[in-house]
């Protein structure tokens, strides 16, 4: 299964009626500032460099962000934070993420999410996350060069942990989530944890840009040390 094949299966997925109804209704009603735009309104596939060594796992597409633009973390405040940080860390060619045709390119980085449809209230149900887990498992198999996993939030960490092979997990139970936590895997790879760059976290100061930059510094340091 190639990444292109996975992308096609994701965008055609109809497995979760509640999520599909919400995405389509959001695309029909629209937000006033985007009323002249055509919304994507479908499940959103992963995005980035197929040879990536850094894999970022987020929560889900935003209703008026990726559900509108069709690209992960594009067109919303979380994306502004993420792509600015990626640009500062050298993983993207630009700091803006406005639409699929804006020229943004990722280098050595791939972005995916635990859920592929925008969920009501940003809260996918456990059974919806379980269905999407199959797509994440397929991506993990195809992205063979990944050395660092960056989990944006507790749900993303749990989704990633469920799809990792048992043999490489350092413990039977998932270590506690904390911003900046590092979880070494048995095969030399690393999970790095970060608060999600949602407005709830950034507007309140729970996540600052310096804190966010630090998780990318740690990720980069691990990638560099693995080359020696």
What span, in angstroms and rounded, lies between the C-alpha atoms of 216 and 191? 12
Q: Residue 149's domain is classified under what CATH number?
A: 3.40.470.10
List, for residues 173-197, the tens digit of each pLDDT value.
888 999 999 999 999 999 999 999 9
Counting as low any pLDDT under 70, the low residues of the chain are: 1, 227-228
The residues, any chain, with a CB within 8 Å of residue 153's CB and separated by 6 or more, are 58, 59, 177, 194, 195, 196, 198
What span, in angstroms and rounded, lies between the C-alpha atoms of 141 and 123? 27
Q: What is the pLDDT of residue 226?
A: 73
Structure tokens at 22: 């919400």
The burial class, CB within 10 Å (0-12 / 13-18 / 19+), for 46 is buried
Domain residue limits at 199: 3-227
List, for residues 30-67, the tens digit of each pLDDT value.
999 999 999 999 999 999 999 999 999 999 999 999 99
Q: What is the largest CA-CA distance in the chain?
A: 53
Q: Give the other-Cβ count within 10 Å of 107's Cβ.
A: 14
Spell out a b/e string for 158-186, using b for 16 or more CB atoms within 10 Å of the CB, else e.
ebbbebbeeeebeeeebeebebeeebebe
Number of independent structural domains in the chain: 1
The burial class, CB within 10 Å (0-12 / 13-18 / 19+), for 85 is buried
pTM comes to: 0.96
Q: What is the pLDDT of residue 227?
A: 59
Structure tokens at 99: 């639409």
């Amino acid at each position: 299964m190639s990444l292109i094949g996975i992308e096609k299966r994701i965008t055609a997925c109809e497995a979760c009626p509640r999520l599909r109804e919400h995405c389509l209704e959001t695309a029909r009603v629209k937000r006033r500032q985007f009323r002249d735009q055509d919304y994507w309104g479908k499940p959103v596939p992963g995005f980035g460099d197929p040879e990536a060594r850094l894999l970022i796992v987020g929560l889900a597409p935003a209703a008026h962000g990726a559900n509108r633009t069709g690209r992960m973390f594009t067109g919303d405040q979380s994306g502004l934070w993420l792509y600015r940080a990626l640009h500062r860390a050298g993983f993207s060619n630009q700091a803006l993420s406005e639409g699929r045709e804006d020229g943004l390119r990722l280098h050595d980085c791939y972005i995916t999410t635990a859920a592929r449809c925008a969920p009501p209230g940003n809260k996918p149900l456990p059974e919806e996350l379980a269905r999407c887990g199959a797509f994440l498992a397929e991506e993990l198999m195809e992205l063979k060069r990944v050395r660092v996993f960056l989990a944006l939030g507790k749900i993303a960490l749990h989704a990633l942990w469920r799809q990792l092979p048992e043999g490489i997990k350092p413990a039977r139970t998932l270590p506690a989530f904390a911003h900046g936590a590092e979880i070494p895997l048995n095969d030399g790879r690393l999970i790095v944890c970060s608060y999600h760059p949602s407005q709830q976290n950034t507007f309140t100061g729970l996540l600052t840009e310096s804190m966010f930059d630090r998780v990318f510094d740690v990720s980069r340091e691990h990638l560099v040390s693995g080359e020696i």
